[in-house]
Each structure stands twice: as C-alpha cells, then as structure tokens.
Structure 1
Amino acid sequence: MTAYPLLGSPLQLGPKTARNRIWMTAHATLLVKDHLFTEAHIAYYVARAKGGAAVITMEAMASHPTTQPYKGKAFAFDPRMVPEYAKLAEAVHEHGTLLLSQPWHRGRQTNSVTNGLPVWAPSAIPCGVYREMPHVMTGKDIAEIIEGYRLSARYSREGGLDGVEVHGMSHGYLLNQFLSPATNLRNDAYGGSLEDRMRIVMEILQACREELGPDMIMGMRLNSDDGHEGGLRPNDWADLAAEFEATGLIDYISLSHGTYINRMLIYPTAPEKHGFQLDATATVKARLKIPVVGVGRIVDPGEAEAYLTEGKLDFVGMARALVSDARWGAKALSGEGDKIRPCVGANWCMSTIFAQAPIGCIHNPSAGRELELDEDTLEPAETPRKVVVVGGGPGGMRAAWTLARRGHAVTLYEARQRLGGQVRWWAKADSRTELVGIVDWLEARLGDEDIDIRLNTRATEADLAGFDAVVIATGSTGLRHGWTMLRPEKWGGDPLPGADLPHVMAYSELLETDPVVGKRVVVFDTMGGRQGAVTAEYLTQRGAQVFFVTQLGQPSPDLAASRDWGKVHGMLRRAGVTFYVDRELTEITPNSVTMRDLYTGETETLGKIESVVMVQGGSANDALFHALGDSVETHLIGDAMSARRVNDAIKEGELAARKI
C-alpha cells in the first residue's frame, strides 16, 4: 500500500507498460563527450531508474548538424549512438524503467558559433535570445531534417531503446516554428494553412514510425501554450494534438509551455506556482485518448497525486525535481516522501549548463557526479574517529551528516540559535522562501543521526582539543568598504569616504539583524549576482524606496545563467526600485551618496538617503582555521575558504567528510 496509489499505479504506454506514473523528462546534462553518451550518463540515468522513475526520456539530441548550441550535444543521427544506446538500455532496463531518445532541432533558437553552420528556420525571423538571422530552409533542407529524424529513430531501435519522443514542437524549437503562424511566413507547401504548417511534422512522424515499427513507443513533445502574442495558445494546441493523435502514429503526448520569448514559462525559478502549466495541459488532454505527460514545477508527491486524481495528466513529468533527488520516486512510493530532497527552484542546474559545466544541483552534490559521489554507496570509515564541525550552515550540516553516516562520532558547533546559516537570511525575501528547504532538509537528516549539536556556542581552540579531525565551516562576513573591483589598490587601505558611517552596513548585517533602515535606501552591488537583487527585494518588502547602484552595465547580470534576470528585473521595477548602472560610489555622507559615471566621469548626488547597504561579497571567517595551524587535521570549507555559493559549501562539506 502507498499513500499515493495513482502515482504508483502502472499504465499502458503503446505496446509497453510503465510500472508507475513517474516520468523523468528530458534535460541537458553536458555529460556528452564527442557527441556521444558517457559512463557518467549511464550512472546518471541509472540512479533515477533505480530511484523509481518508470520512464526516462534522455536529453534532447541533435537530429541534424545545424542544431548544435554547444559542443556537449549528442548526435541522434550518428550511427555511433547505437552501442551507446545499448549500454544505457541494458543498465536502465535492469531496474524496470523504459528508456526513450528525444531527437530535436532548435531551429532559430541557437547560433552558428559552435559548428560554423548557418541557423536554419522556416522563415527569416531571428530569435530574441541569440539574435542571429536564420537561413530560410529550402525543400532540400526540409528533406534533410526529416531524414535526420528517420535516422534518429532507426538508431534508437537498433540500440535497444524502448521508443522515441519526437521533439521540436515545444519550447519554440524548429517544428514549433513551422506550426506557429507567428514564426512561419512561408507560402509553399510547408506554410500558410494549418494543414501545410503541420506537413513537416506529419512527415517526420510517418518516417519515425516506419523505422520503429509497432513494437516500440513513439510520442511527441508539444507545447500547451506558447505564452506570447501571435503564438499558439491552449485551444490551438488542443486542435493540433487531436490531429496528431488521429494519425494513429503516436502513443502519448508530453506537454510543456513557452518559447525563448519567455523562458520562465519553460523552467521557471521560485516562486512560480507549483503545477502552473496544468490548467493548459488539461485543456489539451480533454481532446485526447492517449496518455498525457504533464510538467510545471511538480515537486511534491502529494501534489502529484492530486493532479492525477483531478485528471489533469496521466504521467507526472519531472526534470529538476529528479536532479535534486534521484530517489524521489522510491521515497514517495515507500512512505518516505518526507525525506525527499526538495527542488527549491533555484535553477542552479541551469546555471551549470550556462557555464558549460556538467549538470549540478544547488544542494545535491552527487547530481551528475554519481560515479564518485553516490549517496547510496557511501563507504563507512575504516577507523571511526571523533570529528568536530564548526559552523552549522549548509556546508557544515552536510559535512556532519555524511561524517555520521560513515560511522564517525560527530559534534557540531553553531554560534547562533538555529542551524542554517545565511540560507535562512536569504529566504526572508519573498521570492526566495523555498530556499529554506535546503537547510530544513539537512536539519532533518541530522536528526536521523546520532550527532551532538551544540547551538548558541562559539567554538574556541580549547573546545576543539581532543578531537581527531576538525571541519571549519564558519562562513563569511559581508564586506562594506565601498570600493569596486576596479579599485583593487584601495581594498587594503581606508574605506570609501563615509563607508564607515553607522548607517552603512553589509548585506549580511541587514539580513541577519533587521536593523532600522528608513524609507530611502541605496544598495551598492559590485558582485552582479543574486545577492544584490535579493537585498533590494527584501528592502522593498520592508517599505523602503530602493536606489540600486552598480558599476556593471546592468543589474544582476549573472541571473542570465539561471534564465530569470528578466523576471527579477521586472519584479524589482514593479516594486519601485530605481537602477543606476555604470556607476561607482565616490562618497557617502550622513544623508546622501555621490556616484560617478565610469565612462563620462560625471557625478550625481542622491539625497535624503537613510541607509546604504553594501553588496561586495564576503570576508572569510577563517581565524580559527589559522589558529589551529597544523596541531590537528583540519578541513576548511565553504565561505570560510572563500565567500561563494551554497552549492560550493555543500559539495565541499561532502568531499571533506569523505576524506576523513
């Protein structure tokens, strides 16, 4: 028996049966080498199959050489994929999971930088993200694309996969561009009427089914809402889905949202409502008899069961939730749903891909690194030791948990009254409240182990005597000297004139102590990450009028990696934040700040300022580490090493705990 009977129930999927309703949807990993899958891929997919996913759609693979946004893309049209598929299928099938490929083409939503080939599209309309003029596809080009999908299906069959999910109709990719009158301006057999706009898709479906035969699954990835003016909306997609089902060629439809005009409809960060896509999904599903896969920030098994009960979907599609916890399904269906590591909507998984690094998770260090950091195969310590962890932030908590699971006797010191460190401060901003799930989950895991936790205790050298090893996770303290990175010679001397005044504070002081700030506040952000945006948001929540000053060309440019910079900028503008870019502060007085334009040298003064908050990164709290010296085995992690990101602290806590 399970608390989620529908979620755990099998369902027919074309000629095969899925053992439950949990479906891992396709997402990039950058584990690809030479356009082929790797041993790391096998470990990644096996972890999710073993963890309870009934169906896995592997990451989107190029159906033609013209769709290569970066080198880490598998080529589905390459016969070298056959033995790769065979290895993957054998490993995944061992756990009763169905494995599908996903050939696709990005169309105009890519660039020609990586492969040196022109961007192909049905019409010469550039993408708003890549802004490259596409080549208008000829009849010969269209035939090449159809053949690429055919080959992709053939190699999937020869490689022993269970089926193919034809992609390109969702997220604004090539086949979506053909289907939508907003992006298809053709006047030949592949443009104009709905029938003609559908033609390329119909021909691809026919080609793929011919290769797959009746014994393999074939599905499609469609949008249920393009989400932009002139695009296809839920009723339009319902009509299209019904036409595709009527061919008798497909066994299921997987639905999503959005195009690159608004990528937050595809993979939104918190605080987007869980299940936000499912009303549109239900509109499409109402026209169909074949199973429907639905997605849209489904992260909780109770929510998933409710959506199934309401009939909004037949399969629960998840990507980021299964990046966060590979054992999501096994935990949910075995009565341990409360132990699922929650997806907190941080989109660190997207940021890693943006940086051309393998997929990662903000608080699952094993994601993409299953071969070396699999949580379920943690080796016990050869010799249990007495280990102390100093600092109860996410890095220290992770270190303590892994140390205890390996059999060490662990003591954890935390100077404050609550575990969680800076994560709890950042979660004070309305858009970041889900972040608290990171440390709440870790706190619960510490409760599962026999760990001596000492709160409200600032550890000293004397306290650490008698321990065999020490992990220093004491975090960092925000800087407030007022100089940008453009003035490195100033960092070791006096602060910016006025930066030492009592109404000037670092972001860490603001978020931890909630001082009185007044009605007009300057945020000076030199980092360009999320810290400045969260600080500004939190101040507006407290009723302040915020003036956001940065030496960078735009506020918080690093949010381009998580794809939500537009969403965040819009939120802050609606809250009344005024931005000043390309500026550095030159002076702070008790009631004003003066700033200088970096490129013209002109100065401007903002008056009636009651507080100034500096977002300049942090100074590592490493005094205890240096005081210990070589007297004991010591490991320095997280912000105590250098102020960085949550995922760095958690990963380093895990690595340190595995070394001891």
Structure 2
Amino acid sequence: FKDAGFNMVMIHGGHGNLISQFSSPLYNKRTDGYGGSLENRARFTIEVLDKVREMCGDDFVIEMRISADEINPEGMHFDETLKYIDLIKDKLDILHVSAGLHGEVKYMRNWWQNYMMDRMYNVHYAADVKKAFPNLKVATVGSIMNIRMAEEIIASGKADFVAMCRPLLADPEMPRKYALGHEDDHCPCLRCQYCGQRLMIPAVINCAVNPYLGNEREFPDGRVKKADKKKKVAVVGGGPAGVVAMLTLVDRGHDVTLYEMTDKVGGLIVPGSVHSFKQDFRDYLDYLQRQTKKANARVLLNTEVTKDILDKEKYDALIIAVGARPITPNLPGINKPHVHWAADACSGEAMIKGKVAIIGAGAVGVECAIDLKQHGHDVSLIEMAPNMDHLSISASGASYELKELIGELKIPLHLNCRLDEVKDKSVICTNVRTAEKVEFEADMVLLAIGMASKLDVVDSLRHSAPETEVFVVGDAVKPGLIGHAVMSGFKAAAYI
C-alpha cells in the first residue's frame, strides 16, 4: 500500500474476520501459543501490527477496526476488549471501534443497523474506550447519519474521528453540502439495507435513494446529461418514483409538470413514516418535499389526472407513477364500516376502537401492530403463512427487531389463518393447516394483505402521449420497495 502511494491503512480486526477469529474465544480453540489466554489470542494481532510497522515505518498511519463487543454469548465482550486494547494500543495510530459479528443477523445488526435501531448506535463504546485510553486516537462508526451528528460526537470528546458508509452512499456530496450551508439538500440514508441486499445476490451495489450508485458507467459524472431537445413532460403521481423522475427531468432541462392527487408529495412514504420508529423515512419524506418545492417544475397538488387533462396539454412524453392501492379481498363483511386499511389507522384516518385484528403480518401489518400496542391498544395479528420468514422481504434486516417486539409486547400472532368473513364483533378464519374454522374477537379489522398496481389508471392514461414516449414506473408496474421505485423513475426520466 505504501509503495502504491497510500499514507495509511485500516486493518480489519473485528466482525469475525481472520484477525478477530484469533482474538475471540468464540472462534479460537487452539491449544498452542496462539490460543487460550487473552495474551496468546492477541499474539496474531500483535504480529500483524508489528510487521506492518516494520515494513511501512513510523510515517505510515495504521488504523485498526475492532468489535468492542461481539454480542455472541461465547464471544469477546467489552471488559475483555479493554484488556485487549491495552495490549495493542502502542502498535497502532487509530483504533476504529465497531461491534458485532458477521454471520447471524442478531450479531450483524450491531455493525449494520436498520431503521428500527438507535442512531449513533456504537458511539457509546468509542466514548468508553476514549475514557479508558485518553491518549489513544479513537474512531467511531454506526448509524452516524450526517455531519451534524459527527461534529457533536467529536466536539463532546466521545471520539476523535467519525466513519460513515451508507450515508455517503446515499449522498456522496453530503459533507460538501453541510460545509456550504446546503444541508437541507442532503439526501438521507434510510437504513433500509437495500445496499446490503444487493451484495447478497451478489450484484452491483445500489442505493434505494441514490440511483447513480452502481450506474457509474452510464453516468460517470454522477449526473444526467442535458437533453438534446427540451420537451414538455408530464409526471403523474408524486410518490418517490414520480418525484425522482420529476427532479431528474428538471436536471435534464425539460419543461415538467408533476400531478399529485393528494395535498402532498411522498406517496406511500407518507403513511409509512408515521410510526415513532420510522424517523429515517420521515427524514426522506421531508427531503422529497423540500426538493419538490425547490424544483423548477409546475407542481399541481390535489389534482386527479384524467385523459382529457393530459390530452389538452399535448405532452411530448409522459411518466405514469400512480402507484398501488391496498388489496381488499372479496369476502363477506369486508365492506363493514369497522374495516380499514392498516396504514389509515396509524395515520389517524380511522379511529381506533376496542379489540383490533390486523390481517396480514408483513411490514405494514407488523409495524401497525407494534405502533398500536405501544399506544395501549388491544391488537392481534392474523397471518396465513406458517411462520414469519416472509417478513424479511418487506422489512429486510429490521425483521429481526420487528419479530422481537411482537414477542416483547406480547402481541398475539395467529399463523396459518386465512380470513374468510368479517362480522360485527369478530372475524372468521380457516386454519389452512387443519382446515378448521376459528373465530377471533375484533371490534375493528385492519387490512394489510398487500398492494395491487393501479393498472386501470395506467391503462386510462397511457395513450395521452406518443406510445414510445410513455413510461410506467414504480409501484404502478409492480408493488415493491422504495429502491425499485426510485430507480425506475430515474431511469425513465434520464433518457427522455
């Protein structure tokens, strides 16, 4: 590295990688001079650090990452880590303090936090290390979302350096925006773990809110090119796909009109961000709304678009981002007045009363159940699947926290149950495993069984511009995650 022109290196000695496998009692079962006591288990680390120093000299900065606590009951814990640090502190320049292990989600979550977890999650470890070793330069990492948080950490003496990954994937220009006083233009990370999911495929890493990431060959400068010809373009729908499409079209120099049928942009992020534990999504919603207000586009809220409206404007191109609507099954009693979409209940659109039965235990249903339970309501979950493995599809890594909260809050979870009928004070279900009928008390029924694309709306609008210049994006194509919506809206707009 030094011969290649680098001035420093970070050696990864945490998360269950090779070096930490020697230092950790979880992995190291050796009986020779490299196993047993902490001094023996630290021997490999010391030899690595000594060799780097020998080869690179005193003018080369060595940073080493460790897991302050591996969390696994059989792993290294913080009290022993402090002793470990004492053995290696004079052989490095910066100690980079993280936590957790690779492998199992319940240990990975400590270095790869999701939206259900506290921000600045591991800073307390770095602060305690700094107190124990005040002369050691300490770096901290983990859900440090922006420069303001970083400056607070450093100013308070909790750490000397702050490391970030995902916030800079979401917005590589974030530090510059803060330096120039444009922090409101900073696009926040959702901690949705879309980036990590891509690595699991494996595939080129993408970001849910930054469509340029992973598309550097198409957009090497991190921006779209100006259009060869300015066009009059309509975007129908102000969810994330529509707003990103609008912003991209404006960047390309087009004459853009955005239509949104409600009084605000944000689409399903609006009801999806109302829970107290969805701060990351509220930040992104605020960002979309701020950028919409600043954009050089005509934005028409409270406007439900029809074919006649579009035809009268004679648009050169059209992006249809009308999204999806909640699925309502055709069942007896489903239209009773105490049956609502789950998100409407949590956003205040429907008044909560009595015993609440939530039908569907995906992210929408589970988050709603947790929110209502935390506010003192009597709530239960009814799910047709035999287990909760499916939750990771809609909630990604947060599924671990969500499932834990179902247990901690003692929310009744009825698996293998298919809704058959809604009555005034109960719901009738069939146990799909035994074929038995079961009845659950319910004064209120909340549906969370999925979304369906508004194909009827798409079909009514898609002939209002030349066919080759009409693009359907986001949930209007297929209901999915924010990342899919953002990327499809961006890609459509980038080539008009």
Deviation digits for residues 491-522 of structure 1 (CA, Å, limit 9, x no counterpart):
xxxx2343343333333544566212422222
1:588 to 2:422 alignment: yes
Listed as ranges, the matches of 1:296-375 within 5 Å are 296-373=142-219
Deviation digits for residues 162-202 of structure 1 (CA, Å, limit 9, x no counterpart):
443222x3223343343233544443322222111112222
Query: TM-score scaled to structure 1, two decimals?
Result: 0.69
User: In structure 2, how many angstroms separate the alpha carbons of the residues matched to 1:251 and 1:543?
Assistant: 51
Deviation digits for residues 285-305 of structure 1 (CA, Å, limit 9, x no counterpart):
341534322112111212211
User: In structure 2, how many angstroms separate the alpha carbons of the residues matched to 1:174 and 1:579?
Assistant: 41
1:380 to 2:226 alignment: yes
- Match for residue 649 of structure 1? 485
How far has the Cα of 1:159 moved from its partner? 4.9
1:281 to 2:126 alignment: yes
1:416 to 2:262 alignment: yes
What letter corresponds to residue 638 of structure 1 in structure 2?
Answer: G
1:396 to 239, 242, 246: 242
Listed as ranges, the matches of 1:184-263 within 5 Å are 184-214=28-58, 216-229=60-73, 231-246=75-90, 248=91, 250-259=92-101, 260=104, 261-263=106-108
1:503 to 2:331 alignment: no
2:459 to 618, 621, 626: 626
User: In structure 2, how many angstroms separate the alpha carbons of the residues matched to 1:201 and 1:479?
Assistant: 56
What letter corresponds to residue 110 of structure 2 in structure 1?
Answer: L
Give the 3-state SS of the residue equivalent to 1:166 in structure 2: strand
Deviation digits for residues 462-518 of structure 1 (CA, Å, limit 9, x no counterpart):
22122222211111110020xxxxxxxxxxxxx234334333333354456621242
Deviation digits for residues 302-328 of structure 1 (CA, Å, limit 9, x no counterpart):
221111111222221001111111112
How far has the Cα of 1:210 moved from its partner? 4.3
Change (3 A) 1:373 1:541: farther
Change (3 A) 1:511 1:652: farther
Give the 3-state SS of the residue equivalent to 2:445 in structure 1: strand
1:572 to 2:406 alignment: yes
1:599 to 410, 416, 433: 433
Give the 3-state SS of the residue equivalent to 1:303 in structure 2: helix
User: In structure 2, how many angstroms separate the alpha carbons of the residues matched to 1:529 and 1:178?
Assistant: 40
Deviation digits for residues 338-381 of structure 1 (CA, Å, limit 9, x no counterpart):
22111232222223333433322221112222222467432111
1:440 to 268, 272, 286: 286
What letter corresponds to residue 649 of structure 1 in structure 2?
Answer: A
What letter corresponds to residue 399 of structure 1 in structure 2?
Answer: A
User: In structure 2, how many angstroms separate the alpha carbons of the residues matched to 1:271 and 1:299?
Assistant: 14
How far has the Cα of 1:161 moved from its partner? 4.2
1:611 to 444, 449, 472: 444
- Match for residue 636 of structure 1? 472
Give the 3-state SS of the residue equivalent to 2:438 in structure 1: strand
How far has the Cα of 1:427 moved from its partner? 0.7
What letter corresponds to residue 397 of structure 1 in structure 2?
Answer: V
Change (3 A) 1:296 1:371: same
Unaligned runs of 5+ in 2: none
What letter corresponds to residue 97 of structure 2 in structure 1?
Answer: L
What letter corresponds to residue 22 of structure 2 in structure 1?
Answer: F
Identity of aligned residues (%): 28
Change (3 A) 1:281 1:513: closer
Q: Could you tell me whether the CA contact under 8 Å between 2:354 and 2:378 is conserved in 1? A: yes
Change (3 A) 1:539 1:356: farther
User: In structure 2, how many angstroms separate the alpha carbons of the residues matched to 1:591 and 1:637?
Assistant: 41
Give the 3-state SS of the residue equivalent to 2:428 in structure 1: strand
Unaligned runs of 5+ in 1: 1-155, 482-494
Deviation digits for residues 408-439 of structure 1 (CA, Å, limit 9, x no counterpart):
11111111111111101011122213202222
User: In structure 1, how many angstroms separate the alpha carbons of the residues matched to 2:207 and 2:462?
Assistant: 33
Q: Could you tell me whether the CA contact under 8 Å between 1:429 and 1:537 is conserved in 2? A: no
2:303 to 457, 479, 485: 457
Listed as ranges, the matches of 1:456-605 within 5 Å are 456-464=302-310, 465=312, 466-481=314-329, 495-511=330-346, 514-525=349-360, 529-555=362-388, 557-559=390-392, 562-605=396-439
User: In structure 1, how many angstroms separate the alpha carbons of the residues matched to 2:347 and 2:321?
Assistant: 18
Change (3 A) 1:373 1:479: farther
How far has the Cα of 1:613 moved from its partner? 2.1
Give the 3-state SS of the residue equivalent to 2:235 in structure 1: strand
Give the 3-state SS of the residue equivalent to 1:225 in structure 2: coil
Q: Could you tell me whether the CA contact under 8 Å between 1:238 and 1:285 is conserved in 2? A: no
How far has the Cα of 1:399 moved from its partner? 1.0
Q: Could you tell me whether the CA contact under 8 Å between 1:242 and 1:288 is conserved in 2? A: no
Q: Could you tell me whether the CA contact under 8 Å between 2:315 and 2:464 is conserved in 1? A: no
Deviation digits for residues 44-76 of structure 1 (CA, Å, limit 9, x no counterpart):
xxxxxxxxxxxxxxxxxxxxxxxxxxxxxxxxx
How far has the Cα of 1:266 moved from its partner? 1.4
Q: Could you tell me whether the CA contact under 8 Å between 2:226 and 2:251 is conserved in 1? A: yes
Q: Could you tell me whether the CA contact under 8 Å between 2:355 and 2:379 is conserved in 1? A: yes
Q: Say how many residue pairs are matched.
A: 486
What is the root-mean-square deviation in Å for CA atoms of aligned residues? Answer: 2.5
Give the 3-state SS of the residue equivalent to 2:96 in structure 1: strand
Q: Could you tell me whether the CA contact under 8 Å between 2:362 and 2:448 is conserved in 1? A: no
User: In structure 1, how many angstroms separate the alpha carbons of the residues matched to 2:426 and 2:389?
Assistant: 23
User: In structure 1, how many angstroms separate the alpha carbons of the residues matched to 2:230 and 2:284?
Assistant: 28
User: In structure 1, how many angstroms separate the alpha carbons of the residues matched to 2:331 and 2:447?
Assistant: 11
Deviation digits for residues 198-241 of structure 1 (CA, Å, limit 9, x no counterpart):
12222233344444455543321112233354543434323322
How far has the Cα of 1:242 moved from its partner? 2.6
Change (3 A) 1:330 1:566: same
User: In structure 1, how many angstroms separate the alpha carbons of the residues matched to 2:97 and 2:299?
Assistant: 46
Q: Could you tell me whether the CA contact under 8 Å between 2:116 and 2:398 is conserved in 1? A: no
- Greater Cα offset, 307-316 or 223-232: 223-232
